[in-house]
Structure 1
Amino acid sequence: MGTAWEKFYNDSFLESVERCRMLYEAAPIMLHSIDSNDRIIHVSNHWLKTLGYEASEVLGRKSTDFLTEASRRYAEEVVLPEFFEKGFCRDVEYEYVKKNKEILKVLLSAVAEKDETGKVVRSMVILTDITARKRAEEEIIRQNKFLNNILEALTYPFYVLDANDYTIQMANSAAVHGPIPPAMTCYALTHRRSAPCDGSEHRCPLETVKATKRPVTVEHLHYDRHGNLRNVEVHAYPIFDEKGEVFQIIEYSLDITERERMERALRENAEKIKRFAYSVSHDIKSPAVGINGLTRLLYKKYANILDEKGKKYCEQILKASEQVVALVEEINVFIRTKETPLNFERIQPTEVIEMVRDEFCALLGVRQIQWVHQERIPPIKADRLSLLRVFRNLVDNALKYGGPAMSEIRIGYRDDGKFHVFSVSDDGVGIRREECEGIFELFRRNETSKGVEGTGLGLAIVKEVVEKHRGKVWVDTEIGRGATFYFSISKEL
């Protein structure tokens, strides 16, 4: 019976030993066993393969021989004494040195086998390679540091918000002075409120982003980190979770207090200038009309006693006063052009072009000038009165400055992708190229304008109208070969 039991025990023991041997040889785990003196008595194939050693180079040596100097001191002074006392350790970070001198970062766990007296006789050690993980952690730390450096380099407040409870998850020092208080919300920080913003005038960018799932820009009044109330332009961007829902919001705010002050001052100055211009134009127009009327009366009643020089003086006064009245009218038109809001509607350009042709029909006939315009022009979106004014001014400009030999005015059109492009051409005297620069500025008249009545406002009005249609105006000309004025109108009005 004893012999049979001993045989069974021995067979079981040998079977366990064989299983351990197979585990060491086949398992893809870094394993080794040490005796009570920390000398390696067994080592797994994976351990040898990972560190690049042969078994003969490892067995019998201390396990600490394969550690870096810092890890070896830590093991001998801290870990091993505690391990031999407790009989186990778990997830100790070590650095092993491979045979090729590369460093392998591991987590070491070990359990001791003790005899009946409680003395450690051998220990099983498991190593987990965490080199890649540590490298990833270091990269994350590096990227976080880099991100923090970028955020701190920003001179304007930047923060990341929880889309559900408005709490600030991350912020730079331009937004928050010192550490972020626990559960600090954006509305508490920037508005000193106990509830989120509401109302159309001060709508909450976070709620708008959540509703639209798109970036948004709004203007708000924010307290800065020093407690000063500032006008800011808030830019908010959504961050989506794996389900496509907004779970965080990136926000940054630009201080536009000074810009708002300047814009307000500009609006006030523009209003003052407008009132001044209307006042001056009225004050100038009234006496000019009076001078014109009195001169006509003088000429009518006393023409029989005036000599030729007196009559010529009367004619010059009449002409000058009429020019003043025309200038005042053009100034008023220019002011109205700048101030009057446009009514963008779908219109047929050929109808407008034909209206302009009819206005100038008599003059075209007297001067025997041929009118040609493109018949098939697609409908466009524009302000009808403004488009009429542009064509009228450009045609009037051609008739005034084209010269007596001009024989044709041609209206053209082309589709230029995002713009409708119109042209008004003549075959008149043309303009020197060096005079084209600034031709659309206020009161600018070129060399060919000498002796021709005009205010210098017609092309400035054209430019103002075209820019309100998000387009531009330009001229292509050459002395003796006529001039072509182009203007574009955006298709996205």
Structure 2
Amino acid sequence: MTKRCDDKWDALQARVTGLGERSFRKSYYPKLKEKLSELERFKALLDLANDMIFLIDAASGRLVYASRAICVQLGYSHEELLDMKFSDMLPAEVSPLMADLRGRNLGDGGSEVLTTRLAVRDGREVPVEITLSIVTFQKVLYFVAVARDITRRKRNEEKIARQNEFLEGIMESLSHPFRVIDANDYTIKMANSAAAPEGFTPDLTCFELTHGRDTPCNDPKYGCPVEIVKRTRRAMKTEHTRYDAKGNARHFEIQAYPIFDGDGNVVQIVEYFMDVTERRTMEDALRVANDQLELRVRERTAELRSSNEALKQYSAKLERVNEELQGFVHIASHDLQEPLRKIQTFCDLAKKGFEAPCDKDAEQYLDRAMSSASRMRQLLNDLLQFSKLATTGQPFKEINLGKVAREAAGLFNEHLVELGGLIEIGNMPEIEADEGQMLLLFVNLIDNALKFRSKESPRIKIYAKQDPWLCEIFIEDNGAGFGQQFAERIFKPFQKLHSRLEYQGTGMGLAMCRRIVERHGGNIRAQSEPGRGSTIVIGLHVKYDGWEGIEDLYDRKRGSTDSSNGR
């Protein structure tokens, strides 16, 4: 220090020890010198301290002593400091505190702590925490100020404040309640608005806020999450039922997590809970629906079991009927035809056995008997053939329908020549089918077209349309035609639209055609107008394994076929 500073320090030393200048010449000087050395060492220790130490004259406010740390941290020299007042370094709003302290009796060892700023020589300000105390030397009042630079602490506090603000922002962004609870007294330390819409006081407990009670919850069904986490020291999840202001039950799913201190003790609990009332309502509704569905399934299963039993009985009955039908077919094919042959034979013998020409009436009666017997035999043959179509036949194989149609048409060549008729056969697909039954199908359809011809020369056109799954076969003629209201009737057994005198036949031809088409999983229909001919349309699957869904495919194709043919 400078000479001036040393002089002041010497004067202060004299006042502190209670000695005047004359005392240095006394006989006890060695002992005094030892005490002064101790003071010097104490001063050196003060200069080594990191904290800034000020000794201030309470009356004038001037600095009497300033430690070396002040010069280092604030940039002032000792001379500058000893010419300054302590208030020169303080903000204006803090200066009145010094006068207030002078008027207060802090007592022995009493102190005042304040956080403020000290001015640095270059114009900056340093945040400090100052501990102020009052001492008296020889009835002179002094302030002792120990100032600590808290710049790093302020930065840390600001960082923590920013982090807390960030965390609070995250918490507030959560739509579900979130809170931190003291594990010892259950008070809420932190909570978002969803958890405490009206805020919370430091002594507010979780059970007061949540349940409106003055003791922790003890629901035997769910238990207290805080108690469970404290006991298990592990995170947990549970459900609680609470009631809103209107008394309506609300269901919450609670997740709780422990926070440990340095010794591994659970000190806080983090709780996060979601309102799952709607989910529980839906789960209950789903449970009821599942129960109802299970009941309906059991009922339906019982119904199906009953239906299956009925089907088994019906199937057994059908088998018996089929057996009876087969027996009838056997009778029709053998037992009934034998008497008819004898009737025809004896009638023929009767006609030939007369030595003289027989009476015209008798001859006519015999002819009618023979004709009726012949017609009856034809009916029995058609019925026998019809009954066998569904139960007998050849395995399905790939065949060319064009070849089969031409073979069927060839059987009518002579008849066509007589009538001056013509059969045109267009492109026909290859399909999987019973070739023999397909031949019978075309024979019956051509025969039917020639039989019910008009006065014009018969013209028959056979062609097909095809997609990857379904083919449609068209048999068009220029015959007599019929009313569309009879389009279904003509396919039934023994059904005829004309008398036996107009057209010969048993009425079984088209019925056999439908039976053949149905055995192949197809469909057949007729379109006609009187005097404008007829068109028979047959829908068949191209592949044998594609039968399922034939009606849907056929109905979808029907619209396009009808519009393209104009019928």
| Cα deviation, residue 436, structure 1 | 2.3
Moved more, 83-92 or 304-313: 83-92
* Unmatched 5+ stretches in structure 1: 5-10, 114-121, 159-173, 175-231, 234-252
Corresponding residue number in structure 2 for 1:106 = 254
Corresponding residue number in structure 2 for 1:468 = 519
Native 8 Å contact 2:239 2:251 kept in 1: no
Corresponding residue number in structure 2 for 1:65 = 208
Corresponding residue number in structure 2 for 1:340 = 392
Native 8 Å contact 2:469 2:543 kept in 1: yes
Distance in 1, Cα, partners of 2:409 & 2:224: 105
Match for residue 324 of structure 2 among 272, 281, 285: 272
| Cα deviation, residue 469, structure 1 | 0.8
Report the AA paired with residue 470 of structure 2: F
Report the AA paired with residue 48 of structure 1: N
Deviation per CA, 1:385-416: give whole Å up to 9, x if none: 00011111111112222245442222222225
Report the AA paired with residue 364 of structure 2: K
Deviation per CA, 1:242-290: give whole Å up to 9, x if none: xxxxxxxxxxx88622212211211121111221232134222111111
| Cα deviation, residue 444, structure 1 | 0.9
| Cα deviation, residue 302, structure 1 | 2.8
Deviation per CA, 1:103-158: give whole Å up to 9, x if none: 86534567999xxxxxxxx96332132445x7656644543442232112213588
Corresponding residue number in structure 2 for 1:129 = 273
| Cα deviation, residue 298, structure 1 | 2.4
2:442 is the alignment partner of 1:391:
yes
Corresponding residue number in structure 2 for 1:75 = 216
Deviation per CA, 1:27-65: give whole Å up to 9, x if none: 56744455977555xx22xx224425475x433334333
1:436 and 1:152, CA in 2 relative to 1: closer, same or farther beyond 3 A?
A: same
1:20-419 map, 5 Å:
30-33=178-181, 39-40=187-188, 43-44=189-190, 47-51=191-195, 53=197, 57-69=200-212, 72=213, 75=216, 88=230, 91=236, 94=240, 105-107=253-255, 124-131=268-275, 136=279, 139-140=282-283, 142-155=285-298, 256-302=308-354, 304-374=356-426, 376-415=427-466, 418-419=469-470
SS of the equivalent of 2:474 reads strand
Corresponding residue number in structure 2 for 1:442 = 493
SS of the equivalent of 1:439 reads helix
Match for residue 426 of structure 1 among 466, 473, 477: 477
Distance in 1, Cα, partners of 2:341 & 2:241: 100
Distance in 1, Cα, partners of 2:505 & 2:396: 30
Report the AA paired with residue 475 of structure 1: A
| Cα deviation, residue 423, structure 1 | 2.2
SS of the equivalent of 1:347 reads strand
1:263 and 1:451, CA in 2 relative to 1: closer, same or farther beyond 3 A?
A: same
| Cα deviation, residue 77, structure 1 | 6.2
1:274 and 1:104, CA in 2 relative to 1: closer, same or farther beyond 3 A?
A: closer
Native 8 Å contact 2:451 2:503 kept in 1: yes
SS of the equivalent of 2:363 reads helix
1:50 and 1:353, CA in 2 relative to 1: closer, same or farther beyond 3 A?
A: same
SS of the equivalent of 2:490 reads coil
1:275 and 1:104, CA in 2 relative to 1: closer, same or farther beyond 3 A?
A: closer
Identity %: 18
Distance in 2, Cα, partners of 1:78 & 1:369: 100
| Cα deviation, residue 66, structure 1 | 1.5
Distance in 2, Cα, partners of 1:93 & 1:421: 67
The structure with higher relative contact order (CA 8 Å, sep 6+) is 1
Distance in 2, Cα, partners of 1:83 & 1:415: 73
Report the AA paired with residue 442 of structure 1: P
Distance in 2, Cα, partners of 1:477 & 1:279: 38
TM-score (normalizing by structure 1): 0.64
| Cα deviation, residue 479, structure 1 | 0.8
SS of the equivalent of 2:432 reads strand
Native 8 Å contact 2:179 2:271 kept in 1: yes
Match for residue 452 of structure 1 among 495, 503, 511: 503
Native 8 Å contact 1:338 1:464 kept in 2: yes
Report the AA paired with residue 476 of structure 1: Q
Deviation per CA, 1:352-390: give whole Å up to 9, x if none: 12221221111111122222221x323221111000111
Distance in 1, Cα, partners of 2:308 & 2:296: 19
Distance in 2, Cα, partners of 1:383 & 1:87: 80
Corresponding residue number in structure 1 for 2:532 = 481
1:317 and 1:67, CA in 2 relative to 1: closer, same or farther beyond 3 A?
A: same
Distance in 1, Cα, partners of 2:404 & 2:423: 14
Distance in 1, Cα, partners of 2:492 & 2:349: 38
Matched residue count: 373
Deviation per CA, 1:48-107: give whole Å up to 9, x if none: 24425475x4333343332145xx47735679x9999999456575568999x9986534
